[in-house]
């Protein structure tokens, strides 16, 4: 068995993704390899999407997801779109079914190149998100940052979209908040025993909103698909918008949009947006040593 595997550097709305082909192998991308890859400016990433042979009947692949700190992630919508684009280019197919630790994901590439991912049903129960305290209504919980009489952020909507999310509603530009300072405090707040993704959301109309996210295990991110889904669902759940919205991802480079529908007939969340291939190479899933296709003969320094 070769020590190296093929991988592609891709992005979804700027969300930095490494798609790693682990099919036909029994091993996994290690946490140490993930940390090493993220430490290199050329391969730093938000998530690794490792494609493994299917484990369940009726699925095309099992996707193992790693954050940039080497921890496991349950879901990554932007990364899933990248996997679909990569496999569609390889196979000529348009529709795929993936298994993750969070469940089954169905996805399809459209003629215009955009990709829709069925992210499944949102979870609202406090024990399943999970939270450390009981809340009967998780559309608004007691949590704040800043002075008690004048908090900077407060009363988030919380839910799981395969991973825990807290949505803080703001009334000014999401880029004007010091999320780099607040994000780590909130991600690791005792309220979230499995940590949480922290999103600032500004509703701009009944059908649109702007978001910015501090991602669990990755930090400030240019985009986070599951966070966009969680913001859209939470906005509809609290009466701020309808069930179909356009998300302006403020930190994406360049700024970009996702279309999110919380489908009424089955409560599934459908996310539609782009993916982009950047370059490809090979890497050692044990150590993280890598080379680009253009300079395959030498390992990167």
Catalytic residues: 76, 224
51's tokens: 């494609």
Nearest-angstrom CA–CA distance, 173 and 178: 11
Contact 124, 93 (CB under 8 A): no
42's tokens: 């050329």
* Adjacent-strand bridge partners of 283: 5, 290
Q: Which of 124, 143, 245, 127 is nearest to 188 (CA)?
A: 143
Backbone angles phi, psi at 239, to 5 degrees: 80, 15
3-state SS, residue 222 = coil
- Residue in this structure with the two tokens 């069930």, named with its chain if needed: 243
């Amino acid at each position: 068995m070769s020590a190296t595997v093929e991988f592609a550097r891709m992005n979804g709305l700027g969300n930095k993704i490494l798609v790693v082909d682990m099919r036909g192998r029994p091993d996994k991308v290690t946490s140490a390899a993930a940390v090493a890859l993220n430490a290199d400016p050329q391969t730093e990433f938000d998530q690794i999407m490792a494609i493994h042979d299917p484990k369940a009947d009726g699925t095309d692949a099992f996707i193992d997801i790693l954050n940039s700190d080497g921890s496991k992630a349950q879901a990554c919508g932007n990364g899933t779109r990248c996997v679909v684009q990569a496999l569609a280019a390889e196979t000529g197919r348009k529709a795929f079914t993936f298994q993750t630790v969070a469940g089954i994901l169905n996805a399809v590439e459209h003629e215009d190149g955009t990709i829709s991912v069925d992210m499944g049903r949102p979870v609202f129960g406090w024990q399943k998100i999970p939270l450390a305290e009981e809340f009967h209504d998780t559309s608004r919980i007691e949590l704040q940052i800043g002075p008690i009489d004048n908090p900077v952020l407060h009363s988030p909507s919380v839910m799981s979209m395969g991973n825990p999310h807290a949505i803080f509603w703001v009334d000014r530009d999401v880029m004007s908040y010091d999320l780099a300072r607040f994000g780590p405090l909130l991600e690791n707040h005792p309220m979230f025993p499995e940590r949480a993704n922290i999103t600032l959301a500004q509703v701009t109309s009944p059908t649109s909103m702007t978001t910015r996210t501090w991602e669990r295990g990755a930090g400030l991110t240019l985009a986070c698909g599951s966070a966009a889904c969680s913001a859209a669902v939470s906005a509809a759940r609290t009466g701020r918008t309808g069930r179909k919205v356009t998300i302006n991802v403020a930190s994406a480079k360049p700024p970009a949009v996702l279309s999110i529908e919380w489908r009424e007939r089955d409560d599934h969340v459908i996310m539609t947006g782009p993916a982009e291939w950047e370059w490809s190479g090979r890497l050692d899933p044990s150590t993280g040593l890598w080379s680009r296709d253009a300079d395959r003969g030498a390992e990167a320094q």
